Amino acid sequence: MASTSPGYAITIRVDGPPSAQPVAEVTNAITAAGASITALDVVESFIDHVVIDVTCDAIDADHADRITASIAEHPFLNVRKVSDRTFLLHLGGKIEVQSKVPLKTRDDLSRAYTPGVARISQAIAKDPSDARRLTIKRNTVAVVTDGSAVLGLGNIGPEAALPVMEGKAALFKRFADVDAWPVCLDTQDVDEIVRTVQIIAPVYGGINLEDISAPRCFEVERRLRDLLDIPVFHDDQHGTAIVVLAALKNALKLVKKSLRDAKIVMSGAGAAGTAIARLLVASGAENIIGFDKDGLVSEHKEGDDRMRTWFVDNCSPGDFRGTIGEAMVGADVFIGVSAPNVLKESDVANMAAGSIVFALANPDPEIDPAIARKYATVVATGRSDHPNQINNVLAFPGIFRGLLDGRITKITTEMLVAAADAIADCVSDEQLNSNFIVPSVFDQRVVTNVAAAVKRSG
């Protein structure tokens, strides 16, 4: 059975007569429905009725509805209200702008705005490089999307992508004190995206591309890197690749295998899959067999984009021409960035001893992690409710902290590998085990170490 998650937390207000033991009955109903109670509070207590607020984590939205229905069916319990805690958190959005300077007197206004601000503008007009020193530019990142490939939701458009980009901006601030702002574009035309980002770039010290579908994302990134004098980072590609490499290095250390000798099967040859493969090859991997929705990635096809061409040229399966199930026989590592239920239980059972499974499709992985753990030594997912979460937040805050502080304009493969090493090194030999191959996202050393590695590599 799938696990409950705080992402589907609800608070239910219930009342009932004291004689019916409403606290006990509510608790029994919720636990019987398979939910996890996280809080319970008696809000009011009277002679004839008691009011209770109970908060619980559900598996998904349908499960939350079933939990509520099971309480409502009780003859002595009355459901007054149900609040979805995730929706409550998003009311009015998750980020805001605050002034860093006091604006309490006329003197304050004269310096922060007219006439004093004119002197700053004149200084920047004379020397545009002063914009980084005298404005928000030196610590501000644009989080740019067209809403075409949002999480596991697909092409849902710019408005629906906005909550995700807000979340990204909040993570930037929380973990690296970088001021980021969502830029959700109402176009999916590559030329328009590139031109729009180009003309808004003077405000920002870096561009974080997010949730743009492949293969357009490759072209957008390539062209912007050529056009702009600030770093352009595609988190779906490079952020994911960095954390996967860090996690895999530690997992291989645990099972005493080398990256060079490991047989690696990949599912997904899009933005993330290709970026992962590039970093693995740059770090010494020599045996990668890749699959996409059409099967084995082994031959060039008419209309192939640059990234798929690279994958075919650098991840040749040799004489192998079988299915993913056949490729899994004797494999040391599986990395999935594709779709749910790509693997069968027998596929993992047929892997080599000391196998590693990274089933990263989100929210539903390529195989149920509980099933994979029956056979694999190390299992990682993209979910926060399982150990070994491969989470981009381990990478992008520190990456941009280093880029901005080092005034670095271009991102290199060496820089990405150095960032992966910095993340991996945050897990000591004493800490390393099958359920802890990457550090916690709340480990304060991660951003500091990644930023330092980026600056050294730049």
- Would you please indicate which residues are annotated as catalytic (active-site) residues? 113, 168
Beta strands in 223-367, from DSSP E residues, in sequence order: 232-234, 264-267, 288-292, 295-296, 333-336, 356-359
Query: DSSP secondary structure string, 364-408?
Result: S-SS-HHHHTTT-SEEEES-TTSSSB--GGGTHHHHHHHHHHTT-
Sorted by sequence, the CB contacts under 8 Å of residue 1 that are 6+ apart come out as 34, 59
Amino acid code (one letter) for 319: D
Q: Which DSSP helix (H) or strand (E) runs through 193?
A: helix 190-200
How do strand 5-16 and strand 50-58 relate by DSSP bridges? antiparallel
Task: From 398, 387, 388, select the one nearest 446 (Cα to Cα).
Answer: 398
Say what angle helices 216-227 and 190-200 make with each other, to 10 degrees: 30
What is the C-alpha end-to-end distance of the chain, expressed in Å?
47
CB atoms within 10 A of CB 68: 19
Spatial separation of the C-alpha atoms in residues 448 and 429, rounded to whole Å: 20
Sorted by sequence, the CB contacts under 8 Å of residue 139 that are 6+ apart come out as 177, 178, 179, 205, 404
Tell me how far CA of residue 122 lies from CA of 1, 101, 125, 338, in angstroms: 64, 21, 5, 51
Query: DSSP secondary structure string, 420-451?
Result: HHHHHTTS-TTT-BTTBSS--TT-HHHHHHHH
Query: DSSP secondary structure string, 350-361?
Result: TSPTT-EEEE--
**Contact status, residue 438 vs residue 381, Cβ threshold 8 Å:** no
Decide: residue 138, CB within 10 A, 0-12 exposed, 13-18 middle, 19+ buried.
middle
Spatial separation of the C-alpha atoms in residues 439 and 270, rounded to whole Å: 26
- CA–centroid distance for 402 within its chain: 19
Which token pair is 182?
Answer: 């969502």
Spatial separation of the C-alpha atoms in residues 51 and 32, rounded to whole Å: 21
Task: From 311, 155, 147, 304, select the one nearest 215 (Cα to Cα).
Answer: 304
